[in-house]
Structure 1
Amino acid sequence: MTIDSHQHFWKYQAVKHTWIDDNMSVIRKDFLPAELKNVYSANGIDGCVAVQADQTLEETDFLLDLAQENDFIKGVVGWVDLRNAEIEDDLSKYAKHPKLKGYRHIVQGEADPNFILRPNFLKGISLLEKYRATYDILVFPHQLGAVLEFVKKFPNQKFVIDHIAKPYIKDGFYDGWALLMQEIGKHENVYCKLSGMTTEADYKQWTAEQITPYMELVLNAFGSNRLLFGSDWPVCLVAGNYEKTKAVVTNFISNLSPHEQAEIMGKNAVSFYNL
């Protein structure tokens, strides 16, 4: 199967979705399964993982309801407050949903670069293995030092880095990001999504050649057995369309073996998220 390991749904609300700025106005509308199903049909995608875009329990419930109604949504990465003293109540409740696969916190939006190392957050993360839940790491490059310390603390927890940690492709910054991603890649419980890359470049003038060095680095750091294709739909529409977004990855991996290509385009997502 070809699996899109990272996409979002929402009913657009200006107050809730303030992160969608004027440069991203094309996605200031609703994005729901009926539209994505047509996109997948046109692009040969068999299923997806829906990832939270809002930090509320209502968001998690919203995605689970959509997954229950649509078979092509194979899994959900939701949100719970991992800092909450009563976090086990939420984890226990959601563990009963077969399509709830893991959780994410929008750490990139936290002012503290070491947010991910706060004791109350670490305590919540320490409980995920018990509930067989994965954790998506969403950060900017300046937070990768903390991420390296973070993943060392939980060698048995399944982690995946979203959007190759959002390197500043538009500005050509590479070395500091690359060094830390290589170190993080040495931890075999950590995976990485080939997603969200075109929107870290210039929305209108990006080229695959600009993005290739970043993909080469994570391929070397994580290997084909720990990379997952993801579209970041509908955010990817800011910098093109689904076909172009998918082609960035499929063209890059075209020289790999058929087995390695199949891993990146679906098998790894199935294994990581237990789809």
Structure 2
Amino acid sequence: MADSLSGAVPVFDSHQHLFPDAEAEPSALPIIDSHIHLYPEAELSSLAWYTAASPLAGQRSVDEFRAATGSPANLQGFIFIEADRKNGEAKDWAAPLQEVSFARRIVAGQPRDGEGHAPADAKLCLAIVPWAPVVLGPAELDRYLTAAEAEAGPAAWAKVKGFRYLLQDKPLGTGLADAFIAGLKLLGRRRFVFDVGVDQHRRGRAQLEEMVDMIDRAHDGVDDEDDKVVFILNHLLKPDLTTISQTDPSFIAWRTAMFTLGKCRQTYMKLSGCFAEMPDSLKAQPAEVIFSALLPWLAVLIAAFGPSRIMFGSDWPVCTVGVGEDAWRKWHKVVDMTCDLAGLSYEDQKMLWAGTARRAYNIED
């Protein structure tokens, strides 16, 4: 995917929809939150980032998630994303498999005392995306998949739709190593997606360029389209939202990557994670102000991917840091305003709020 597009950015305008022929129909559309993290108090020490001083210290449960959302009737469920458990440079699988076991208890409706979920919550967990040692190559990855399947059991394993191995904090070149690419190809053959976690804000343009190259290599030589691994890009690839300028080099690099990645039909984007990339002063503003500040990024996202390859995600509980307990509802409002001002049709909105997640993760209705 050549890094060659740098045309003018479509701009939302209060007098003209991006798609002027569309008819937006306000409705309590079904919602799937495509990106949340859960972890019980008893397993906090297994989290790689955990310290007692962390704003995310303490249990994050289904009960708390339901409270954060207000439990609207149209919230169909969530996708459980791994929370970065310790893994000993991908060679120690005890904590990641412990996380799989935790997800199994949610799906089975069999909580341990104090874990903050109940049997009735089982239906909310629509898909699971555990960690996997993709970096070790296909032989070790296959061995891990066998261990994870045994840990999950049949019911939870049926909900495992993909895997994640964070690249945002790894040395440059990690995602381009032969073993990593071969691991991605194995996931494709096994019909698992790969959730991509990179960080342009803190690591710069090089992570974007590496990811574009990684996707190209993972698909190179794979003749059967169904065997090509599907990539689900997290959090807009974490652009720098502290400098709100369309002429900033980081914005231009991000925009170019978006249009390049948007050409590949095996890529999807999560409309999520933006609060973590904003200055504290913007986080504290009402949803309307945040929406206005994000317009250049939102316009590019809609133009590059379209609603059929964009999915709503909250990144709960990370979204609460510096925002507060109303973060989920504030982000929901930002996304709702995006749909409205872009003039998305009712069917397009159904895709963005839930349909895209179902398609990308192969979740049955």
TM-score, with structure 1 as normaliser? 0.91
The two structures, once aligned, show a CA RMSD in angstroms of: 2.1
Asked if residue 87 in structure 1 is aligned to residue 141 in structure 2, the reply is yes
SS at match of 1:76: strand
The letter of the residue matching 2:76 is: D
**Residue of structure 2 in register with 1:268 after alignment:** 356
Deviation per residue, 1:25-73 (Å, 9 max, x gap): 2x32210112223444534411110100124232233223323322101
**Residue of structure 2 in register with 1:31 after alignment:** 60
SS at match of 1:192: strand
The letter of the residue matching 2:36 is: Q
Q: Which deviates the most, 56-65 or 149-158?
A: 56-65
Q: How far apart are 1:21 and its partner, in Å?
A: 9.3
Give the aligned length.
272
Contact 1:64 1:100 in 2 (8 A): no
CA distance in 1, matches of 2:195, 2:215: 12
Taking only the aligned residue pairs, the percentage that are identical comes to 26
Aligned match for 2:159, one of 92, 99, 115: 99
**Residue of structure 2 in register with 1:247 after alignment:** 333
Contact 2:133 2:140 in 1 (8 A): no
CA distance in 2, matches of 1:209, 1:68: 42
The letter of the residue matching 1:253 is: C
Asked if residue 154 in structure 1 is aligned to residue 213 in structure 2, the reply is no
Q: How far apart are 1:188 and its partner, in Å?
A: 0.8
**Residue of structure 1 in register with 2:130 after alignment:** 78
The letter of the residue matching 1:128 is: L
C-alpha change, 1:242 and 1:144, in structure 2 (3 Å) is: same
Contact 1:57 1:80 in 2 (8 A): no
Contact 1:102 1:133 in 2 (8 A): yes
C-alpha change, 1:183 and 1:274, in structure 2 (3 Å) is: same
Contact 2:162 2:192 in 1 (8 A): yes
Query: What is the 5 A alignment of 1:171-186?
Result: 171-172=243-244, 173-186=250-263
CA distance in 1, matches of 2:300, 2:180: 29
SS at match of 2:128: strand
**Residue of structure 2 in register with 1:60 after alignment:** 100
Asked if residue 18 in structure 1 is aligned to residue 78 in structure 2, the reply is no
Asked if residue 3 in structure 1 is aligned to residue 67 in structure 2, the reply is no
C-alpha change, 1:64 and 1:218, in structure 2 (3 Å) is: farther
CA distance in 1, matches of 2:79, 2:58: 21
CA distance in 2, matches of 1:15, 1:203: 29
CA distance in 1, matches of 2:299, 2:45: 37
Contact 1:3 1:266 in 2 (8 A): yes
CA distance in 2, matches of 1:199, 1:164: 11
Q: Which deviates the most, 46-55 or 61-70?
A: 61-70
C-alpha change, 1:204 and 1:59, in structure 2 (3 Å) is: farther
The letter of the residue matching 1:64 is: R
Aligned match for 1:47, one of 77, 86, 89: 77
**Residue of structure 2 in register with 1:199 after alignment:** 276
Deviation per residue, 1:126-173 (Å, 9 max, x gap): 101222111000001230101111111234211110000000001334
Deviation per residue, 1:47-102 (Å, 9 max, x gap): 11010012423223322332332210100010121133422122245465101110
**Residue of structure 2 in register with 1:231 after alignment:** 314
Contact 1:128 1:134 in 2 (8 A): yes
Contact 1:227 1:264 in 2 (8 A): yes
The letter of the residue matching 1:107 is: L
The letter of the residue matching 2:144 is: D
C-alpha change, 1:45 and 1:150, in structure 2 (3 Å) is: same
Q: Which deviates the most, 132-141 or 81-90?
A: 81-90
Q: How far apart are 1:177 and its partner, in Å?
A: 1.0
Q: How far apart are 1:251 and its partner, in Å?
A: 1.0
Contact 2:47 2:83 in 1 (8 A): no
SS at match of 1:49: strand
**Residue of structure 2 in register with 1:117 after alignment:** 176
SS at match of 1:46: strand
CA distance in 2, matches of 1:219, 1:234: 25
Contact 1:169 1:200 in 2 (8 A): yes
Contact 1:94 1:100 in 2 (8 A): no
TM-score, with structure 2 as normaliser? 0.70
CA distance in 2, matches of 1:74, 1:149: 31
CA distance in 2, matches of 1:15, 1:91: 20
